[in-house]
Amino acid sequence: MDQIKINDLVGRKSYGCDIFFKVIAIFIDDKGQEQACLKGLDMRLLATAPVDDLYKLEPAQITAHWHNFMTKNHNQMKRIFQRRQQDQLKCLNRSIGLVDKIESFDVPGTVLHLDGDNDYLELCLTTYRQLNIRAHGYNIKEKEQSEEISAVLTKHRPDILVLTGHDGLAKGAKELSDLNNYHSSKYFVAAIKIARQYEKSLDDLVIFAGACQSHYEAILRAGANFASSPKRILIHAFDPVFVVEKIAYTSIYDPIPVKDVIASTITGFDGIGGIETKGKFRLGVPKTPY
C-alpha cells in the first residue's frame, strides 16, 4: 500500500469508505500512533483517523465522486431557476399587473460569506455567480471569524451573512448539549454574537451559520436565522448557498416558510433548520435598454 501523505484523498476502511476526505495533517498521538487530520471533500466535516485505517482512493473513484457531486448541484440549480420564473411572474403581477408590456430587473439580496475552508469558499463563490447573487467571500479560519467579523460587516453591509467552514463532534463525545464537545461551533456562536451587536434585527441581517454536526440549538440562540445540524448529521458543501439563494430571491413582502428554505437544500431537515424570516429580493421596473 502507498504511504499516506498530506493532500492524499482517502476513505476510512472502518467506515466502509462512506465519506471521501483530504488529508490535511499527519501527527503522532500520545500513544505513539500515527494519526491523520481529515476534511471532507463534499461534506463540511473534520475528523481524525489512524493512518493505517485509511485507504488511498483510486483516480476512477475520485472522478466518479466529483461527477456525482456536480450532478446533484446541477439538478438543484435547475430546480432553482424553474422556481424563480414562477416567483418573478407573481412579483410582476403584484407590482405592475402588466406582465407582457414592461420588462423588469432583479435586485436580490447581497451576501457576505466567511468560510474556514478556501476550497469550499471558491466553490461557493462560483455557485453564487452562477445564481446571479452578488457575494463577497473571505477565507477566515473558524476560530478567527469573531475577530474579523465587525470589520468586514462594516465594509460590505450585506443583507445576508454566512459563517461556515468545518465542524464535527469530538471523538467519543456523548453530551451533545456541551458546546465544548464540538470542533468549531463555539467559534460560530462567538462570531454571531458580535454580528448581532452590529445588527440585531433578524430581518435586516439574515444569518446562516454552521457546518457538519454543528450545535444547532446554540447557533440559533446566538442569533442565527438558519443553522446546522438539528440531527448532528453531515451537511453538503453547497447547502449554505442554497439556503442563501432562497432568501436572496424571495420578495421583501414575503416571509419565507422554513420548509421552503430547507426544501432548497440537498441535506434536508435533518441537516438544516431555522426560523421564519423575510426575503431580501426587490423587483425593479422598467428595465433600461442601456
φ/ψ of 48, rounded to 5, equals -125, 150
Greater confidence (188 vs 235) lies with 188
Mean pLDDT: which of 105-109, 219-223, 239-243 is highest?
219-223
Under 8 Å between Cβ of 51 and 35? yes
User: Whole-prediction pTM value?
Assistant: 0.84
Half-sphere exposure of 173 (CA within 13 A, CB side): 18
| Domains of the chain and CATH, by start | 9-57 (2.40.50), 75-284 (3.40.50.2300)
Q: Give the pLDDT score at 141.
A: 96
Q: What is the DSSP string of 261-279?
A: HHHTSSS-TTT-EE--EE-
Most confident of 35-44, 101-110, 203-212: 203-212
3-state secondary structure 59-128: HHHHHHHHHHHHHHHHHHHHHHHHHHHHHHHHHHHHHCCCCCCCCCEEECCCEEEEECCHHHHHHHHHHH
126 pLDDT exceeds 70?
yes
pLDDT mean across residues, the chain: 89
DSSP string across 176-212: TT-GGGBSSHHHHHHHHHHHHHH---TTTSEEEE--T
Spatial distance between the Cα atoms of 19 and 189, rounded to a whole number of angstroms: 27
96 pLDDT above the threshold of 70: no
The pLDDT-based confidence of 263 (bands split at 50, 70, 90) is: confident
Question: What integer pLDDT is reported at residue 254 of this predicted model?
Answer: 85
